[in-house]
Amino acid sequence: MTAVGLGAPRSDAEAKVRGLAMYGVDYREAGMLHARLLRSPVAAGRIIRLEVTEARRSPGVHAVVTAAEAPRHRNGLVLLDTPFFADDMVLYEGEPIAMVVADTSRQAEAAVETIVVEIEELEPVSDVAEALAPGARLLHPDLDSYRVIPGTGPWPKGGNCGGVLTSDPGGVDEAFETADIIVEDVYTVPRQYQAYLEPKSATASYDGWRWTLDVSHQFPYKARSRVAQALGVTDSRIRVVGHHIGGGFGARLDLGLEQFAAIGASLTGRTVQLVNDRVEDLVSCMSRENATIRVRSGVTRQGRIVARDFECLMDSGAYAGDTPYLTSIALLMAGSVYRVGPTRVTAKSVYTNTAPSGAFRGVSGTYLCFALERHTDRLAQAIGMDRREFRMRNLFEPGDSMLNGQTLEDAEILREAFERVEERAPWREAGKGPLRGVGLAAVIWLTNPLAGSATLGIQEDGSLGVSTAATENGSGAVTMGLRQIAAAEFGLGAEQVFVTSPDTDTQSYDAGSQGSRTTHVVGMAIKAAATQLKPRLFNIASGLLGALPDDLELGGGNVRVRDDPSRTVSLSEVARTALGVGGPLSSTGTYSVPLPKWDPDSAQGLLFPVFPVPTYHVHLAEVEVDPDEGSVRVTRYVVVQEVGRMINPDGVYGQIQGGVAQGMGYALWEGLESRDGRYTRRTLESYGLPLAVDIPDVEIIVLEHPCEAGPFGAKGVAEPPIVPVAAAIANAVSDATGADITTLPIDPEELLVALEKRQEG
Amino acid sequence: MTQTLTCEVNGILRTVEVDGDEALLDTLRDRLYLAGTKRGCDEGECGACTVLVDGTPVHSCIFPALAAGGAEVRTVEGLAGPGGKLNSLQQAFVDRAAVQCGFCTPGFLMTLTALLEANPSPSDHQVDEAMAGNICRCTGYSAIRAAVRSLVREDGA
Amino acid sequence: MQFLAPNTVREALGMLSERAGDLRVLAGGTDVMIQRMTGQLPRSESLLYIGGIADLRGVGCSDGLIRIGALTTHLDLGCDPIIATHLPSFAEAAATVGGWQTQAVGTVGGNLCNASPAADLAPPILAADATMVVSGVDGPTRIPADRFFVDRRRTALPPGQILLGVEVPVPPAATWESYLKVGRRSAMEVALVGLGARFSVVGNRVETARLGVCSVAPTPLRLRHAEAALVGSGLEEEAVTAAARRAMVEVDPIGDQRAAASYRRMLVGRLIRKAVRLARQRLEIK
Chain B residue with the nearest C-alpha to that of C30: B62
Helix-helix angle A387-394:A365-382, to 10 degrees: 110
The pLDDT of residue C147 is: 97
| Position A370 pLDDT exceeds 50 | yes
ipTM over 0.90: yes
Average pLDDT for A576-595: 97
Q: Which of B78, B127, B139, B132 is nearest to B106 (CA)?
A: B78
Chains in contact with B via at least 3 Cβ–Cβ pairs below 8 Å:
A, C
A695, B79: Cβ pair inside 8 Å?
A: no
Residue A278 to residue B144, Cβ atoms within 8 A: no
Sort out which chain B residues have CB atoms less than 8 A from A14's CB and list them: 86, 94
Q: What is the distance in angstroms between the Cα of C189 and the nearest Cα belonging to chain A?
A: 8
**Whole-number pLDDT of residue A353:** 98
B142 to chain C, any CB pair closer than 8 A? The answer is: no
Contact between A13 and B39 using a beta-carbon 8 Å cutoff: no
pLDDT band, residue C286 (cuts 50/70/90):
low
Ramachandran angles phi, psi of A541, nearest 5°: -65, -35
Contact state of C49 with B59 under an 8 Å Cβ cutoff: no
Neighbours of chain A (3+ CB pairs under 8 A): B, C
Q: Are strands C175-182 and C193-202 parallel, antiparallel or unpaired?
A: antiparallel
User: Taking residues A102-112, what's their average pLDDT?
Assistant: 97
What number is the average pLDDT over the span A524-531?
98
Q: Rounded to whole angstroms, how far apart are CA atoms A316 and A319? A: 6
Q: Out of C1, C102, C187, whose CB is closest to B44?
A: C102
Q: Decide if C187 and A688 are in contact by the 8 Å CB cutoff.
A: no
- Return d(Cα A233, Cα C266) in angstroms, integer: 60
CB contact under 8 A, C49 and B67: yes
Confidence of residue A1 (pLDDT cuts 50, 70, 90): very low
Phi, psi of A79 (to 5 degrees): -110, 125
Q: Which of A197, A480, A647 to mutate to test the interface with B (most CBs of B within 10 A)?
A: A197
pLDDT of residue B153: 60
Cβ contact, residue pair C260, A749, below 8 Å: yes
Q: Is the pLDDT assigned to residue A87 strictly greater than 70?
A: yes
Contact C30 B62 (CB under 8 A): yes
CA separation for the pair A109, A634 (Å, rounded): 44
How distant is the Cα of B11 from the closest Cα of chain C, in angstroms?
A: 22
Distance of CA A312 to the CA centre of its chain: 19
A752/C256 touch (CB, cutoff 8 Å), yes or no? no
Chain C residues close to A635, C-beta within 8 Å: none
Could you give the CA distance from residue B112 to residue B144 in angstroms, rounded to a whole number?
10
pLDDT digits (tens, 9 = 90+) for C107-126: 999 999 999 999 999 999 99
The answer to whether residue A17 scores a pLDDT higher than 80 is yes
pLDDT class of B157 with cuts at 50, 70, 90: very low
Residue A25 in contact with residue B41, Cβ under 8 Å?
no
- pLDDT value for C19: 83
Is residue B155 scored above 80 in pLDDT? Answer: no
Residue B154 has pLDDT above 70, yes or no: no
> Residue A487 in 3-state DSSP?
helix
User: Do B1 and C49 make contact, defined as CB atoms within 8 angstroms?
Assistant: no
Closest alpha carbon to C50 in C94, C15, C96: C15
Of C184, C262, C266, the CB nearest to A688: C184
CB within 8 Å: C29 and B57: no
Q: Do C214 and C127 touch, CB atoms closer than 8 A?
A: no
Q: Tell me which of B3, B27, B62, B74 to substitute to probe the interface with C (most C C-beta atoms closer than 10 Å).
A: B62
Collect contacts of C223-229 with beta carbons under 8 A, ≥24 apart. C223/C247, C223/C250, C223/C251, C223/C268, C224/C250, C225/C249, C225/C250, C226/C250, C226/C272
pLDDT of residue A673: 94
Please tell me the distance in Å from A752's CA to the nearest CA on chain C.
9
Mean pLDDT for chain A?
A: 97
List CB contacts (< 8 A) between A752 and chain C. Answer: 263, 266, 270
CA distance, residue B48 to nearest chain A CA (Å): 8
Q: B-chain residues within 8 Å CB-CB of C38?
A: 43
Single out the residue of B31, B47, A273 nearest to residue B39, CA to CA: B47
Work out the percent of chain A whose per-residue pLDDT is above 90: 98
pLDDT reported for residue B106? 98
- Does the model's pTM come out above 0.90? yes
The interaxial angle of helices B142-156 and B105-118, nearest 10 deg, is 30
Chain A residues in contact with C190 by the CB 8 A cut-off are 685-686
Segment A46-73, tens digit of pLDDT: 999 999 999 999 999 999 999 999 999 9
Nearest partner of B60 among A247, C116, C33, A201, judged by Cα: C33
**CB–CB contact A693 B75 (8 Å):** no
Which three-class secondary structure state does DSSP give residue A107?
helix
- CB contacts of C75 in chain B (<8 Å) are 56
Q: Which of C187, C190, C274 sits opposite A693 (nearest CB)?
A: C187
Chains that touch C (3 or more CB pairs under 8 A): A, B
Residue C284: predicted pLDDT: 76
* Residues 6 or more apart in contact with residue A708 via CB below 8 angstroms: none
Rounded CA gap, A74 and A714, in Å? 40
For residue A2, the model assigns a pLDDT of 62
Q: What is the pLDDT of residue B138?
A: 98
The confidence band for A708, taking pLDDT boundaries of 50, 70 and 90, is very high
Q: Average per-residue pLDDT in chain B?
A: 95
Contact yes or no for C49 and B66 at CB 8 A: yes
- Per the CB < 8 Å rule, is A693 touching C186? yes
Q: Chain A contacts of B26, Cβ < 8 Å?
A: none
**Measured between beta carbons, which residues in chain A are less than 8 angstroms from residue C182?**
628-629, 631
- The whole-angstrom distance between A73's CA and the closest CA on chain B is 34
